[in-house]
Amino acid sequence: MMDDMALEDAALDLFVSALRARHGYDFSGYAPASLKRRVQQLARDLQMPNIGSLIPRVLYEPQLMDDIVARLSVPVSDFFRDPEVFAALGREVLPVLASYPRLNIWHAGVAFGEEVYSMAIMLWEAGLMTRSQIYATDLNDRALEKAQEGIFSSDNLATYEDNYRAAGGTAQLADYYHARYDLIRMRRELLSSAVFAHHNLVTDGVFAETHLILCRNVMIYFSQPLKNRVLELFAGSLVRGGYLVLGNRENLHLSSAARYFETVSDNNRIYRLKRTRQ
Amino acid sequence: MIDQGATSVLLMGGSAGSLPVLMDLFAAFPATSQAAVVLCLHTASRDSANLCSVLGDRSVMPVREATEHAPVAPGTIHVASGDYHLLIEQDKTFALSYDDPVHYSRPSIDVLFESAAEAFRDNALGVLLSGANQDGAAGLARIQALGGTVVVQTPASAQAPQMPSAALAVLTPDMAESPCELARYLRAWLISEGAQE
């Protein structure tokens, strides 16, 4: 006999299959515990009693799709989140990247774009903006649109300003946005060399040779085999000596792809593609 | 990977006023056990290394920050990182998430307890200590529903009674005790878990 928990786990598998079969979104490589929480939350948000009830809606209500993907990929970030990481990028990484005539920077899993703008400000202040090409990708089209608009709540501005300064910012964060009522709009110049594009790390491949990849708090939702696959993808995209930045609690220790990378800063999760392939 | 995960787990949740209690409890723990200990403590600090060293000050059982994909290893006190949820997968490895706070908390005790309950079922023992919000009640209820044991610090003995009270409002624990009795009980449980194997 199947108990409630086993039933809900079976329903989760079927939900994931339905999503993949109907729309091509493959969540089967996601870490199950947090995926289950999100799908249960999705069921509550859509006023459904359980995960199983979501399956017909996935199959027969294509208009729900954007909303479902948006909710399953819950994007959260801040401007200059973990400022010490940005400070390390400014100190140790950008001076090296400055030696390249052209720079390709990939933000993988960009969410609402706070980090793209943070990095763009860093590039601006380092004088690297005009030779940089920024690729900002996500599987969540709705988040991509919002990221491109560059409009954010001003609620946490004081924190952002502190973060910016702790990250080594040389001007004021206010120089980079226009404030209106309780919103800020990032200056368009920051996006002069940015492309926003749909890209799913689970199913899509390498699209450019890159010098720096930022993928923070994205792979914590992946199980180990998928994480390995994505790290292989990054290794295939980076130039030799190119940099990879992960979230503060992510690590390469248990990954089979760790052999491609060497550590630049353990604390800040900054890695570098080895110059020789092994 | 060879499964090095523990077969049973002691899950602990604490918030305001629980740090001194935790340090007393840890001081009573044996050096080794076949069971793992996992702690979710609400803290404003994101300096988890420092928290581990404070918590480990009087503990003979090693205290470590829980890291993603690592096994829930026996004889170790695993501590949830600041500002991330900690979950346990069915294969008894740790997973992290940066989803929204639950009860204004990240890490949230509910998130840890609910996932751990599903992974360990009747081999889970959940302990909820002093705290000033509602986190942990739903998690304890899930542990109980799946056959695990639940223990609550008595509100009268807690610096902040709200958290144990919130749990007592929704469930009848197997035991409600003061920190002194809890120390004795948990020590015995950790030792007997070793003897059973």
CA gap A199, B149 in Å, rounded? 45
Domain borders along chain B are 8-192
Interface test with A, best of B2, B51, B52, B69 (most A CBs within 10 A): B69
Q: Does the pLDDT of residue A159 top 70, yes or no?
A: yes
CA gap A167, A180 in Å, rounded? 25
Interface test with A, best of B2, B4, B68 (most A CBs within 10 A): B68
Residue-wise DSSP of A200-215: -TTT----S-EEEEEE
pLDDT at B169: 98
B81 shares contact with chain A (CB less than 8 Å): yes
Residue A85, CA atoms < 13 Å, CB-side half-sphere: 24
- Residue-wise pLDDT for A53-105, tens only, equals 999 999 999 999 888 988 898 667 889 999 999 999 999 999 999 999 999 99
pLDDT at A1: 60
CB-CB contact of B25 with B37 (8 Å): no
CA gap B137, A188 in Å, rounded? 47
First to last CA, chain B: 22
The CATH code that applies to domain B8-192 is 3.40.50.180
Q: Does the pLDDT of residue B2 top 80, yes or no?
A: no
Check if B45 is active-site: no
State chain B's mean pLDDT as an integer. Answer: 94
- Residue-wise pLDDT for B37-84, tens only, equals 999 999 877 788 899 999 999 999 999 999 999 999 999 999 999 999
Check A33 against B100: CB less than 8 A apart: no
Nearest Cβ partner for A249 among B68, B100, B115: B68
Alpha-carbon distance B187 to nearest alpha carbon in chain A (angstroms): 29
The angle, 0 to 180 degrees and rounded to 10, between the axes of the packed helices A141-149 and A65-72 is 80
By mean pLDDT, which of A134-138, A186-190, B46-50, B51-55 is the weakest?
B46-50
Which candidate in B18, B42, B59, B81 is catalytic? B42
HEC string of chain B?
Answer: CCCCCCCCEEEEEECCCCHHHHHHHHHHCCCCCCCEEEEEECCCCCCHHHHHHHHHHHCCCCEEECCCCCECCCCCEEECCCCCEEEECCCCEEEEECCCCECCECCCHHHHHHHHHHHHHHHEEEEECCCCCCCCHHHHHHHHHCCCEEEEECHHHCCCCHHHHHHHHHCCCCEEECHHHHHHHHHHHHHHHHHHC
Q: pLDDT over 70 for what percent of chain B? A: 96
